[in-house]
Chain A
């Protein structure tokens, strides 16, 4: 009997030792498998499929027809592609120039010790609870030429309230909507980041006589560098692919003057049913967005896995 017990005990010990050797090795790839499978199915494989469809002529109804490089050879002739890239870049750069400073200022201010901050904060971050659709619909109504704000305050808006009817006006409105809807999001991120800046840096600078502006530019901004980079990536990828707002507010108008490339892709594929050509545009956008994101990721070193706190 005792032999059996001894045998069982030693077996159990060996198993445990084996397990703990295994255990010391950490989680295996299997832990990530479900995520990778689902992600592959709904994100990676579709990318391959988009490339495949870009070699086809498909109208969504009849079976796709393989046409080789025909769609790609036709690239220079795709209607409004060049113009749409221009518009997209203009909107992108302007959005960053508008939203980044606002987000920064909001976030840094909100991270500070001012009184009444809570009330203001609640209002400032209100847009985050509204969907892009809701925001776009409301703004479109507000900007009506005759019965909206431009109509009733025509002095500020140039006479006849024709804001959405011109390219400059439409772009201004889109930038305003972007700022209204997205700056709070970035403000929140910067607020979180700014809170993490060690107070002792500011105290040391204050002792050295540095004023508010000096402290902002010499301490706050450099400390927020990683966050700024991340925010810019967000905005760039968003600008290269988002089109919900434009679709609802201007529908790419007037006369295609706010037609960005992602919106062009959507219309080409889902309104005109040229899914092959739409896929060509989609592939170009994927390359652009992917390329930029990868570049930035490498630059800011997201790969490293060690704890930031080690050695602190």
Chain B
């Protein structure tokens, strides 16, 4: 059957496209402009001279260090999160005791606790543990707060593994652990991948925890680096834009290659 052209989509799409593109244009073009031309002409102007100076400034400064910090922290956050949450998910999905059921409710409740509201006590706890200004001051709370989401999403995928498959393994004499590693995990690869990417994104772009719990260059992440840029009296916007582009490039590459996983896993996330 021939589809009639979708007029609505045809009309709205270009508008939305323009809306989406303008900031991207400003940042991209701005990063290649000189501060003078940016100041004179404003954000939308096409620079008279294109320059790589901004990138040079950023890459020879502290920013690459920040990038490394961000990468390490993001990887550790996801790693710790999975280490904690995957066994917990298994317990929640396959556990037969009342304990596991109650645990699930408690963990779900956690989705309702936004990290911003416990900044004050977290600060006190981090200090008391002597972790202030260390990578762990960021990784531990971030991983902890990500556990409910992992449990929620992976459980939604893991529970679609029908009982018969487990029963077959039990008959073969497989232990609980073996069933975890050989059945539950492999069949949940998709939601695990999705939630890992989700948490990686979140950790990469996280801002508040690093802002409040760290300060030295050895632990500063890119988001805080960007924020510090604008806190100074003399802001070099073109250099700032170059930093923004650099901060997004790794993610962009990831996005282009991992989209397939993201989409496949999101089906599980939608509750179906």
Confirm or deny: A230 has a beta carbon within 8 angstroms of a beta carbon on chain B.
yes
Confirm or deny: A201 has a beta carbon within 8 angstroms of a beta carbon on chain B.
no
Closest A residue to B205 by beta carbon equals A131
Interchain CA distance A242-B208 in the complex, whole Å: 10
A206 adjacent to B1 (CB under 8 Å): yes
B91 adjacent to A31 (CB under 8 Å): yes
Known A-B contacts A38-B84, A226-B272, A294-B109; the reply to A29 vs B103 at CB < 8 A is yes
Question: Which residues in B have their C-beta under 8 angstroms from that of A114?
Answer: 6, 9
A12-26 contact mask (Cβ, 8 Å, vs B): 1 or 0: 000010011011111
B215-243 contact mask (Cβ, 8 Å, vs A): 1 or 0: 00000001100110110000001001100
Interchain CA distance A192-B270 in the complex, whole Å: 7
Partner of A32, one of B87, B141, B237, B254: B87
A137 adjacent to B230 (CB under 8 Å): yes
Name the interface residues of B100-122: CB closer than 8 Å to any CB of A. 100, 103-122
Name the interface residues of B156-194: CB closer than 8 Å to any CB of A. 159-162, 170, 173-176, 179-180
The 5 tightest CB contacts between A and B, nearest first, are: A192-B266, A193-B270, A49-B121, A293-B112, A131-B205
B residues sitting closer than 8 Å to A (CB atoms) are 1, 4, 6, 9, 12-13, 16-17, 19-24, 26-27, 39, 41-44, 83-85, 87-88, 90-97, 99-100, 103-122, 124-125, 140-141, 143-145, 147-148, 151-152, 155, 159-162, 170, 173-176, 179-180, 201, 204-205, 207-208, 212, 222-223, 226-227, 229-230, 237, 240-241, 244, 247-248, 251-252, 254-256, 259, 262-267, 269-272
Interchain CA distance A234-B23 in the complex, whole Å: 25
B159 adjacent to A305 (CB under 8 Å): yes
Confirm or deny: A134 has a beta carbon within 8 angstroms of a beta carbon on chain B.
yes
B118 adjacent to A43 (CB under 8 Å): yes
B223 adjacent to A28 (CB under 8 Å): no
Shortest distance between the CB of B196 and any CB in chain A (Å): 15
Confirm or deny: A104 has a beta carbon within 8 angstroms of a beta carbon on chain B.
no
Known A-B contacts A46-B125, A141-B26, A289-B112; the reply to A269 vs B88 at CB < 8 A is no
24 A-B pairs within 8 Å (CB atoms) are namely: A16-B173, A28-B176, A29-B91, A35-B107, A35-B151, A39-B84, A50-B117, A50-B121, A129-B255, A137-B227, A137-B240, A138-B23, A138-B27, A141-B26, A142-B26, A188-B262, A193-B271, A193-B272, A227-B272, A237-B114, A241-B116, A300-B271, A302-B271, A308-B160
Confirm or deny: A72 has a beta carbon within 8 angstroms of a beta carbon on chain B.
no
Interchain CA distance A99-B267 in the complex, whole Å: 20
A149 adjacent to B44 (CB under 8 Å): yes
A29 adjacent to B99 (CB under 8 Å): yes
A307 adjacent to B113 (CB under 8 Å): no
Interchain CA distance A102-B13 in the complex, whole Å: 11
Question: Which residues in A have their C-beta under 8 angstroms from that of B208?
Answer: 244
Known A-B contacts A126-B24, A134-B244; the reply to A42 vs B125 at CB < 8 A is yes
B97 adjacent to A28 (CB under 8 Å): yes
Name the interface residues of A267-312: CB closer than 8 Å to any CB of B. 269-270, 275, 278-279, 282-283, 285-286, 289-294, 297, 300, 302-303, 305-310
A26 adjacent to B87 (CB under 8 Å): no
A: number of interface residues (CB 8 Å): 114
A122-138 contact mask (Cβ, 8 Å, vs B): 1 or 0: 11111111111111011
Interchain CA distance A141-B38 in the complex, whole Å: 11
Closest A residue to B264 by beta carbon equals A192
A135 adjacent to B23 (CB under 8 Å): yes
B120 adjacent to A278 (CB under 8 Å): yes
A188 adjacent to B266 (CB under 8 Å): yes
Question: Which residues in B have their C-beta under 8 angstroms from that of A292?
Answer: 112
Known A-B contacts A147-B43, A306-B159, A307-B159; the reply to A25 vs B96 at CB < 8 A is yes
